[in-house]
Structure 1
Amino acid sequence: MALLQTLVCMVFLFGFQFCNFCCLSTTDMAMKETKIKIWKFFKVIVSCLLITTLVLFTAATIRTLSLDVNVGLQLAHWEKSKNISLVIDQRHREELLGNFKEALRIPTVSFSETESNATALRQFDAFLRKAFPTVFSSSVVHHELVANYSHLFRVQGSQPDLVPYLLLAHIDVVPAKESDGWEAPPFSAKEIDDFIYGRGTIDDKCAVMGILQALEYLLIRGYTPRRGFYIGLGHDEEIRGFHGAKNIVRVMKERGVKLSFVLDEGLAILDGVISGLDGPAALIGVSEKGSANVKLSVTMAPGHSSMPPRESSIGILAAAVKRLEENPLPRLFGHGPERETFEHLAHKFGLPLKFIMSNLWLFSPLLGRVLEGKPDTNALVRTTTAVTMFNAGVKVNIIPSLAEAYVNLRIHSAQTLQEVLDFIHATVGDQRVKIELIDGFDPLPVSSSDERSFGFQIIKKTVLDMFPTLTVAPGICIGNTDSRHFKDLSNDIYRFAPVWFKPGDAQRFHGINERISKKNYEELVVFYFNLFQNCDIQKLPELHASIHEL
């Protein structure tokens, strides 16, 4: 792309200079012959450019048209499922909704890294044992508490040679106050227009309860899995999982466990959220951005406000913060998994978007510029910079000696934590500003999502069995989950639950009026019910058709 742009610029520059040259009046025969030679050379260059453009346009058109053909082949090689089906009748509906609501009413809030509601966590433990008696009494299920409040289940498979997998979810929720503007008390699990309102409905008790409810129903039917699996329920994900998830990992490492894949919360089914997309899309997170919390501080001698210095600690720090906001990190669209997202979705867009997204090998710079125009899509194309705290001053008539600011950065998959820190130092460019890394980590590795990727294809099949008209694509999580702690146990970590998000619903996540429809929660239970069974195949079927890249 850069080469093509350079060639075009050179041709136009050469043409401009040639026209100027031709305008010079001369009767010299040698000069005329030179003009003719240059003109012939210019025509050759223009012809080459036109041919190149035609070839590129033809290739791009063929690729655009071929996507509609290839997309239907991706699951054509699967045999028809012979799974036990789950029919949710009125009795099942009342039971699973009743259990879900009771879980929501237990305020398992993580307030800070040093403060959690331990009483609620113990209450939740007792509730799980009551709600899912078959899970806790089955001979094929081994359960243990980890770090007092987290849960680890090992479900034994009948074929020990099959590599197990892990489903993750978390019990804790972020704080919520009714006075913030909730339509229903945040721990009431109240129904309004077929929606259940409450903290945890989408983050993440829907998955906690959906997984265990599905397993309960399968065990009642006498089901014994062929492929063993684990269920991990962390109790402190909202405060980074350093006690729950990390200790679950420690226990599994001590036992030498290796996992086929991990499935945690993360992305969802987006309905009407992506402008121009024809129909909803299920995005399965194949990675998540890294993170860094950086502290900027300026220290100087205090003084009286009646005799202010030329520059104050607040002014120096404010200027540094302003430079960070005015100089974002570089746009990196096309260098991470976000490119693959749009390529998978391309066939569901109309022209001209379909043409552009089908040929990101050519149009990545163009789409990247468009995406950076909005905060939600800008987060896909670069490392983001957010100034989240600014502290200074103790009294209105005292020049403060100390000013501090905290900056949170979410690191793009194509960058490292160290590269981001180097950028901050270069951008601030003031020795008076002290820059400290409070904590941070690199972006997570990108998990596989091709036709031979066991975990991705199993999740995809389970989604399409339930929702055949959906488009399924890999995606990138811009937030962080407990799954990042498990990267030493598996190369393939996915982040997805079939929660339906319509425009505006993303703002309910950690916001007010968090909710899920009763129908959608039932779909979650069925999803996990089917997923357990779909994982029991020994390996993916052989492909009957190949999808070739132009």
Structure 2
Amino acid sequence: GFCSPSSEVFSENLLDHGKTRSHLKAALVPFFHVSAFPKIFSSSLVHHELVANYSHLFRVEGSQPDLVPYLLLAHIDVVPASESDDWEAPPFSAKEIDGFIYGRGTIDNKSSVMGILEALEYLLGKGYAPRRGFYIGLGHDEEVGGLKGALNMVRVLKQRGVQLSFVLDEGLAIADGIIVGLEGPAALIGLTEKGMAHVKLRVSTAPGHASMPPRETCIGILAAAVKRLEENPMPRLFGYGPERETFEHLAHKVRRTNYESITHHNLYCLTVFPYVLYSRLLERKPETNGLVRTTTAVTMFNAGVKDNVLPSHAEVHVNLRIHPAQSLQEVLDQIHSTVGDQRVKIELISGFEAPPVSSSDEKSFGFQIIKKTVLDVFPTVTVAPGICIANTDSQHFKDLTKDIYRFLPVWLTPGDTQRIHGINERISKKNYEEYVMFYFSLIQNCDIQKLPEPHSSVHEL
């Protein structure tokens, strides 16, 4: 099943932390037991292999080898979850409450894993044989960077000379009531994802007794630096990346009253500075502020060992998600400028810039097929390209294709975003059925040789 108790093994990335247990492999492989997907594992069209011991790579043969294959990507690992965190149901119970299935990974990312496999199982059961071949990649360590799962899948495909038409991975979603001022739900397809930087700030001073404190301690100096970082966010860059296309696709759905509340009825500003105005709407909420700029999150603060001892050093760790219009060096320069204190030593621990922006024009096969499939399954939504503010395994596949898309057919309403990696992660049974229908339709839509006109026929299960 979809979220069985055995999936508790995915609550930790044991391999990454050097805590490999002898039962790990035995627990991972039955996740895709033959009895769960008999058609997949018995079909002559499907070839399955383990990569790096725990990731799964499927190749589905197409009847027309001249059609360039694509890749459906998902991951089977999840972040930790504790039953002591006030979950309404145990996080690995898959308990149903009021039409929702509760469990860690129901959104991130087992619904995709199971949705893809169930869709393929149904298609094979109907005797369907795809014209366009495709791959399914299921990584086991996405939550810690995909350095063993995804990277080794890339290595295997490169060795075989595989090039892909496009990749579809997790990412953005159907946002209903999340984007400020937007009327109706919007399905956002990520054309890129943000870069990332892990930066450490450190201050060292002379230790001493708490009864004789200096005017400034290392904690105070560092706290002031952190305060400056939080009070002076990175510059607004809305309109300088693919979010410009997001605005153009969604502008007709933005309520005018929201503009007026910002401009005070200044129609000149509304005409000349629409991106500035819309960015101010988006930055009001944490869920959408990341579309506007490079975000700065202070995640760890370490200092002191005893209440009556002045510490000799203090350090803070900062996680930044880098906007596609900003380079890693520009981000570091901005941090130095904002901190403005030579006593604070700034060190880049790790980092990378945003990957290239994928195509989304009328000739873009991958984008147009995904868009058509979204409208097949969710006919009331507005489809728009966007930026994925999190990082995914798909970033490792850029040498195999120029087009990587990030989208989940999950319906998110206000409050749902806190469930991802948080407490009471859940998905409705109806939405999970829509997952299956989405991939079921997508696989069939990919068989067309000519891009669709702006609307679609619906495939029936």
Q: TM-score, normalised by structure 1?
A: 0.77
Shift of 1:372: 2.4
**Counterpart of 2:33 in structure 1: which amino acid?**
R
Cα separation, 2, equivalents of 1:274 and 1:379? 12
Cα separation, 2, equivalents of 1:361 and 1:256? 49
Cα separation, 1, equivalents of 2:180 and 2:316? 36
Match in the other structure for 1:72: none
**Counterpart of 2:28 in structure 1: which amino acid?**
F
| 1:459-474 to 2 correspondences below 5 Å | 459-474=370-385
Match in the other structure for 2:12: 110
Match for residue 495 of structure 1 among 392, 397, 406: 406
Cα separation, 2, equivalents of 1:163 and 1:401? 60
Contact 2:9 2:27 (8 Å CA) reproduced:
no
Match in the other structure for 1:440: 351
Shift of 1:177: 1.1
Cα separation, 2, equivalents of 1:173 and 1:360? 45
Match in the other structure for 1:205: 110
Contact 1:260 1:490 (8 Å CA) reproduced:
yes
Shift of 1:433: 1.6
After superposing the two structures, state which structure 1 stretch, 347-356 or 520-529, moved more.
347-356
**Shift in CA distance, 415/228, structure 1 to aligned 2, threshold 3 Å:** same
Q: Encode CA deviations 1:230-277: one digit per residue, 9 max, x unaligned.
A: 110000111111111111111111112111110001111122223443
| 1:347-358 to 2 correspondences below 5 Å | 347-351=252-256
Match for residue 30 of structure 2 among 126, 131, 148: 126
Stretches of structure 1 that go unaligned for 5 or more consecutive residues are 1-98, 545-550
Match in the other structure for 1:518: 429
Larger radius of gyration: 1
**Shift in CA distance, 350/324, structure 1 to aligned 2, threshold 3 Å:** closer
Contact 2:13 2:141 (8 Å CA) reproduced:
no
Match in the other structure for 2:368: 457
Contact 2:198 2:317 (8 Å CA) reproduced:
yes
**Counterpart of 2:442 in structure 1: which amino acid?**
L
Match in the other structure for 1:305: 210
Is 1:331 the counterpart of 2:236 in the alignment? Answer: yes
Structure of higher RCO (CA pairs closer than 8 Å, 6+ residues apart): 2
Match in the other structure for 2:274: 363
**Counterpart of 1:480 in structure 2: which amino acid?**
N
Stretches of structure 2 that go unaligned for 5 or more consecutive residues are 261-266, 456-461
Cα separation, 1, equivalents of 2:308 and 2:255? 61
Cα separation, 2, equivalents of 1:541 and 1:172? 35
Cα separation, 2, equivalents of 1:278 and 1:327? 31
Contact 2:111 2:435 (8 Å CA) reproduced:
yes
Shift of 1:469: 2.0
**Counterpart of 1:195 in structure 2: which amino acid?**
F
Match in the other structure for 1:64: none
Cα separation, 2, equivalents of 1:181 and 1:505? 16
Cα separation, 2, equivalents of 1:183 and 1:266? 26
After superposing the two structures, state which structure 1 stretch, 443-452 or 227-236, moved more.
443-452
**Shift in CA distance, 352/135, structure 1 to aligned 2, threshold 3 Å:** same
Match in the other structure for 2:227: 322
**Counterpart of 1:435 in structure 2: which amino acid?**
I
Cα separation, 2, equivalents of 1:518 and 1:442? 37
SS in 1 for 2:67: coil
**Shift in CA distance, 328/278, structure 1 to aligned 2, threshold 3 Å:** closer
After superposing the two structures, state which structure 1 stretch, 182-191 or 121-130, moved more.
121-130
Match in the other structure for 2:390: 479
Q: Which one has the bigger helix percentage?
A: 1
Cα separation, 1, equivalents of 2:257 and 2:301? 45
Shift of 1:400: 1.0
**Shift in CA distance, 147/242, structure 1 to aligned 2, threshold 3 Å:** same
Q: Encode CA deviations 1:128-171: one digit per residue, 9 max, x unaligned.
A: 12311221222111111111100111111111111110000000
Match in the other structure for 1:408: 319
| Number of residue pairs matched by the alignment | 444
**Counterpart of 2:412 in structure 1: which amino acid?**
F
SS in 2 for 1:107: helix
Cα separation, 2, equivalents of 1:361 and 1:216? 53
Is 1:270 the counterpart of 2:175 in the alignment? Answer: yes
SS in 1 for 2:351: strand
Contact 1:346 1:354 (8 Å CA) reproduced:
no
**Counterpart of 2:228 in structure 1: which amino acid?**
R
Cα separation, 1, equivalents of 2:212 and 2:354? 48
Shift of 1:485: 0.9
Is 1:283 the counterpart of 2:188 in the alignment? Answer: yes
**Shift in CA distance, 116/271, structure 1 to aligned 2, threshold 3 Å:** farther
Contact 2:179 2:288 (8 Å CA) reproduced:
no
Shift of 1:106: 4.0
Match in the other structure for 2:264: none
Shift of 1:352: 5.1
Q: Encode CA deviations 1:340-390: one digit per residue, 9 max, x unaligned.
A: 11221122234356999xx87742122223332332222211111111111
Match in the other structure for 2:90: 185
Cα separation, 2, equivalents of 1:249 and 1:280? 35
